[in-house]
Amino acid sequence: MSKTTYAVVDLETTGTNATEDRIIQIGIVLVENGRVVSTYATDVNPEKTISPVIQELTGISNEQVKNAPIFEDIAPTIHSLLAETVFVAHNIHFDFNFLNNEFERVGLPLMKNAGVDTVELSQIFFPTLESYRLSDLSQYFGFVHENPHQADSDALVTADLLLEIEKKIMTIPLHTLEQIVRLSDVLAFESQAFLQHRLERRRLSEGEHLPEHLHENDGLILRNKEVQETLFFNQETYPKTKKQKLRLYGAVNEYRDEQARFMNMVYKHFHENPTEKNLFIEAATGIGKTLGYLLPLAFLATKEEKAVIATPSILLQEQLMQEVLPKMEQFLPNKLHATLVKSARHYIDLVRFKESLLHPKPQKQYRLYQMATLVWLLETQTGDLEELNQTSYTHFFYEDIRHRGIRFLNPLSPLYVDDFLCAVKEKIGKSNLLIVNHAYLVNENVRGEFALPKAKYLIVDEAHHLPNTLLQLSSARCNLQAFMRELKSLFEDKGVLEVVEEEIQEKLSQTILRRVQLLRFSLSNFDRNLEHLSVECKKIAHGNEEIFMNEEQIEQLNIEKEIFLSQLAEIWQIAKEIETELFVNIEQFSSYEQYIMTPIFDFTGKLEEILMLFTRFFSEENTSLVKWLTNFTKTQSITLHLQDFERSMLDFSTWYARFEKVLFTSGTMKIGNNKKFLPTQLGIEQYGFRTIPSPFDYGKQAKLFLPTDLSENGELLNKEQLSQAILKILENTEKSTLVLFSSKEMLTDCYNLLQPELFKLGKEILAQDISGSKEKIMKRFRFTKGAALFGTDSYWDGVDLPGDVLELLIVTKLPFENPLRPFVKSYYDYLSTKGLSPFSSLSLPKAALRLRQGLGRLIRSSSDRGVMFILDDRILTKGYGTRLLAVFPKDMEKNEGKLEDLVEKMREFLL
């Protein structure tokens, strides 16, 4: 690209339709030789009304542009200014095409400029950022961005971004840059030529000298991994007294009586109470619970007697690693050597990624991910794909490069020494503290061999989540249509098995070749039976979305169940034999050959689980075993479900016996004085229970508002009524708000109704499963003042939002589970067989805990203030309402009345 003048352009328009809408502001910044040389900006009279939404977004009013020039008057100047330049924009397709459309409208020639898109280049060269919106990039890089969504300011920031991208390109090793350029032909306009030009300049000015923190291995440039220091541990005395604790950490950490009590309880349980395995501690939100259990571990855990901490989510795992442990290092350096442990699928497999580069796919998004990954490998020391901050990891690029596990690696591969999962395994051996999530811990039950070593100490944080995790992972399901698609991808022409036959035939024994052919034939036959089963299930469903399957209904399925199971067992046996022989001879296959075999290995692992599911679904009768199916009429798909309630108890968990001492802790464990609820759910009979009360003054810090005028005759609110109530509250506050729903359907309905209204108010609305992953939404919510976050189950608790981030909580409906769902109904039936009342023993306590957890989102320190609305008057009109209200602190003020009056009280309280 020979041109060196870059015209960075930003338009503000009356809308996105290039034919009907018009420009209302244009900003142009000219950049030469790495610096801004001139700017041009003007308002434009669009000769039509600017809508309120656009006025709110841009800050540009009809009055402001009334006396501005029309586009036809300034078009020649702009056309001349842009001549012989490289056109640069943040989302170039919009600005370039819109401007060309306007030139054509006023009779000027179309631009034929080369162009560069800073969105795509930012995604490639800054692959770990959470957002590529211009305002977010501006905040990240510290650019001066005084007027977001105004063309002059946006153009200047885009120019700064272009220079930042150029700066980053200059740091990329030549070899990596060459790989990126080869993949970049899919980029918008002439972005590839832009990169090629920089590559040629680099080649002329320098050789390939890698900096000390990087190295090359088998064609990939990788960052060196930090060598973990040898664990330093000495037998210092644990600081039991206040004086000792103040001496240890008083200079860097506030001393709190409740936290100190918690520390001593943990230490006593682990070190001075040899007979009691299980201890439950309900520690009020905000006492500093995490540091409270980490400090005792620093004096107890060794490389030989490790501690494991299990949190409910990956987000909390990362918070612990990145925020809490570094604080401890300030006053207890080198005491805790922690390793964050995740399942293999979270890590990149370098061999598989290398093969994806050697056999590139034409899809643009695939190539963009490849280029971004090449840059990320220069920065990451973990290989954890979560660092890439993608909204979703379901794209087939990530499926291609995900790690399958250490057993799938070839030790003779050059990249074996740099494998990230092997590095985690090595770190585990050198660490005294391992951090996992609940699902990883519970999945130890089904792994072929334990991934975690035997350990002396286990801490289950946010332990009230553990029963649900145990329930989820004692279940199984199979979507019949997805399973059929997977079968077809294996046995059909040009499918995986045929490709394996053709590509590596010479290296396969005759026995394996015959088995591959037999597997193709068997899968083809079985596919017809699977299709027949799907048809039979749809007959049983009769259009229902979910239906409980008892033995009588299973008998009504018109299929030969024994033949079906024997066919499936035979397929699994053949696949297993193929897998075993391939593994025995794995070293004779090239990386590419191993790459194309992977679907066989993946299939064999899934097949064993599916065989077990079908066997139990058709054959096993057990009062604790529940079977149901879901019928998705839109996608014409059937899913079979299996749930064994007995196996959700810790007695059935093989991992539980591998820990000597266990601490279960949470801010919400008991209901009133009932301490048995959580231990009973886990099936634990022998345990200790301690409580650390809240240190907060709820009388001054929080208020509960209960509107009485939202519904008639005690009926639940419909989506319109609920949306109006939420809007009434939100339009009267600038505070960030969490709105909790009991169903995703109602959340989506309210989002669709409220999004335009909140947009007019200048409020950003973030919604579960609409605005990105939970982790991405939470990070965005922290940095967006006055935002509204709509969430369901997982947002009730387990997320740390400081008081200045969240001051208003709206509960749209009492958090009871839907008793008509087959799973819930079946669980209630199971409890009834045990002589328990489902409502009083499970439904009501779980709802009560949820409300307590909701309050815990608001008040997390002595300086927090917050308001909680409950928009469901059943809490006032039903007999059980008093039991739900009893879970709130006695000194917390509870206000009933008209919504309008309560909103005014909220405004006064949150001033």
Question: Average pLDDT of 749-774?
Answer: 87
Where does residue 891 fall: left (phi above 0), alpha (psi -120 to 50 degrees), or beta otherwise? Answer: alpha
Tell me the mean pLDDT in the region 732-759: 91
Average pLDDT, the chain: 89
Q: E strand or H helix at 326, and its extent? A: helix 325-331
DSSP 723-751: HHHHHHHHTT--S-EEEE-S-HHHHHHHH
**For residue range 225-264, what is the model confidence (pLDDT) as tens digits?**
887 665 555 557 899 999 999 999 999 888 999 999 999 9
User: What is the average pLDDT across 655-677?
Assistant: 91
**Radius of gyration over alpha carbons of the chain, in Å?**
31
d(CA 817, CA 847): 8
pLDDT-derived band at 802, boundaries 50, 70, 90: low
Of residues 904 and 859, more confidently modeled: 904
- The CA distance from 358 to 596, in Å, is 13
For residues 125 and 169, is the Cβ–Cβ distance under 8 A?
yes
Antiparallel, parallel or unpaired: β 86-89 and 115-117: parallel
761 Ramachandran zone, left/alpha/beta (phi>0; psi -120 to 50): alpha
Span 93-148, pLDDT tens digits = 999 999 999 999 999 999 999 999 999 999 999 999 988 989 889 988 988 756 66
Residue 768: Cβ within 10 Å count: 21
Q: In whole angstroms, what is the distance from residue 906 CA to residue 897 CA? A: 12
Residues placed in the known binding site: 283-290
Residues of the chain with CATH 3.30.420.10: 5-172+187-202
- Grade residue 504 by pLDDT with cuts at 50, 70 and 90: confident
C-alpha pair distances (Å), 79 with each of 16, 76, 91, 102, 303: 21, 5, 20, 11, 69
Which helix (H) or strand (E) covers residue 5, if one does?
A: strand 5-13
Mean pLDDT of 679-688: 93
d(CA 500, CA 493): 12
| pTM, two decimal places | 0.85
Which of 873, 883, 761 lies closest to 811, judged by CA?
Answer: 873
- Say if residues 669 and 677 touch (Cβ distance below 8 Å): yes
Instruction: List pLDDT tens digits, range 442-475.
Output: 999 888 788 999 999 999 999 999 998 998 888 8
Separation of alpha carbons 463 and 799, rounded Å: 14
* Closest of 556, 523, 552 to residue 537, by C-alpha: 556
pLDDT given at position 391: 65
Residues of the chain with pLDDT > 90: what percent? 58
Q: How many Cα atoms within 13 Å fall on the side-chain side of residue 379?
A: 18
Select the more confidently predicted residue: 433 or 235.
433
Tokens for 371, please give them. Answer: 């280029």
List pLDDT tens digits, range 589-599: 888 888 888 88
pLDDT per position as a tens digit, 346-395: 999 999 999 999 988 899 999 999 999 999 999 999 999 999 987 667 78
Distance CA 452, CA 812 (A): 41
- Measure the CA–CA gap between 99 and 405, rounded to whole angstroms: 51
439/466 Cα distance (integer angstroms): 9
Q: Spell out the residues 6+ positions from residue 905 whose beta carbon is closer than 8 angstroms to its own.
A: 703, 705, 895
Strand partners, 866: 702
Fold adopted by 5-172+187-202: Nucleotidyltransferase; domain 5 (3.30.420)
Three-class SS state of 89: strand
What pLDDT digit, counting tens, does each position of 258-295 carry?
Answer: 999 999 999 999 998 888 999 999 998 878 899 999 99
Long-range contacts of 33-37 (CB under 8 A, 24+ apart): 33/4, 34/163, 34/166, 35/163, 36/156, 36/159, 37/5
Question: Which tokens go with 536?
Answer: 């039979």
Question: Span 698-909: which CATH code?
Answer: 3.40.50.300
User: What are the start-end ranges of the E strands in 77-197?
Assistant: 86-89, 115-117
Q: Is the pLDDT of residue 699 over 70?
A: yes
User: How much is the pLDDT for 1?
Assistant: 45
As annotated, the residues of the chain forming the CATH 3.40.50.300 domain(s) are: 256-337+432-474+646-695, 698-909
CA pair distance 707, 896, nearest whole angstrom: 6
The pLDDT score that the predictor gives to residue 233 is 56
In this predicted structure, what is the pLDDT of residue 229? Answer: 63
Q: 3-class secondary structure for 262-310?
A: HHHHHHHHHHCCCCCCEEEEEECCCCCHHHHHHHHHHCCCCCCCCEEEE
pLDDT category at 3 given cuts 50, 70, 90 is low
Mean pLDDT of 646-658: 89
Q: Which residues make Cβ contacts (< 8 Å) with residue 253, sequence separation at least 6?
A: 291, 327, 331
User: Smallest Cα–Cα separation from 381: which of 503, 225, 538?
Assistant: 225
Q: What is the DSSP-derived secondary structure letter of residue 697?
A: -
Which of 288-292, 601-605, 682-686, 876-880 bottoms out in mean pLDDT, i.e. has the lowest?
601-605
Question: Two tokens at 827?
Answer: 């669980």
CA distance 116 to 251: 52
Pick 633 or 533 by higher pLDDT.
533
Helix, strand, coil abundance in the chain, percent, nearest 5? 50, 15, 35
Residue 843, pLDDT above cutoff 80: yes
Enumerate long-range contacts of 64-68, CB under 8 Å, 24 or more apart. Answer: 65/24, 65/25, 68/42, 68/43, 68/44
Given a cut of 60, whether residue 801 has pLDDT beyond it is yes
Percent of the chain with pLDDT over 70: 96
Instruction: Say what the pLDDT of residue 623 is.
Output: 76
Annotated binding-site members for ATP: 283-290
Backbone dihedral region of 786: left (phi > 0), alpha (psi from -120 to 50 degrees) or beta?
left
Tell me the H-state helices in 648-788: 677-682, 698-701, 719-730, 744-760, 774-783
For the domain covering 256-337+432-474+646-695, report its CATH number: 3.40.50.300
Domain limits, CATH 1.10.275, in the chain: 479-644
Res 648 pLDDT > 90: no
Does the pLDDT at position 206 exceed 80?
Answer: no
**Dihedral sign, Cα of residue 271, residue 273, residue 279, residue 281:** negative
Burial of 798 (0-12, 13-18, 19+ CB in 10 A): buried
**CATH number given to 479-644:** 1.10.275
